[in-house]
Amino acid sequence: MDKREAIGSWLSGPRAAAENAGVDFGYRGEQLGLPEEGPGSIARPGRRLGALVVDWGLCLLIAYGLIADSYNEAAQIWAPLVLFVLIVLTVGTLGFTPGKRLFGLRVIALDTGRVNPLRALIRTVLLFLAVPALIWDRDGRGLHDRLARTVEVRI
């Protein structure tokens, strides 16, 4: 291996280096029995982030418009609480938030297909801790999804 290959493998990461060495990881969601593309496939990070931004914006509108009378600290405290309630209630009953629905996403339980309110609560608490959502497995599922035994898929 010359210096360029060594530097290239370092820049592209361990997965790319392993794939260049002949290791086959398969596609994201394959080990979960999900399709590679289309409905039912693992949701991409960009869509997930876009859905979260939409949900956050809705919660800010609710906090500033209905709860707080003007721009103040109370609205900044209420917005995350509204987001927490929104995620728990909508994911626990419908399987998606307004932002997820807009971006064509749904949260499903791996064993039953429907997320019950307890799983939605566990997933949301872990999501609000932020660190579990930033640790992903090879399928692109965050630690919060793994611990709640859920997966976010395209619809």
144-154 residue pLDDT tens: 999 999 999 99
pLDDT at 122: 93
Written as one letter, the residue type at 61 is L
* pTM for this model (two decimals): 0.78
Q: Identify the DSSP state of 145.
A: H
Q: Which tens digit of pLDDT belongs to each residue from 79-133?
A: 899 999 999 999 999 999 999 999 999 999 988 889 999 999 999 999 999 888 8
**Cα(104)–Cα(46) distance, integer angstroms:** 12
SS3 of the chain: CCHHHHHHHHHHCHHHHHHHCCCCCCCCCHHHCCCCCCCCCECCHHHHHHHHHHHHHHHHHHHHHHHCCCCCHHHHHHHHHHHHHHHHHHHHHCCCCHHHHHCCEEEEECCCCCCCHHHHHHHHHHHHCCHHHHCECCCCCEHHHHHHCEEEEEC
Backbone angles phi, psi at 28, to 5 degrees: -65, 125
Q: Which tens digit of pLDDT belongs to each residue from 48-84?
A: 999 999 999 999 888 888 776 666 677 778 889 999 9
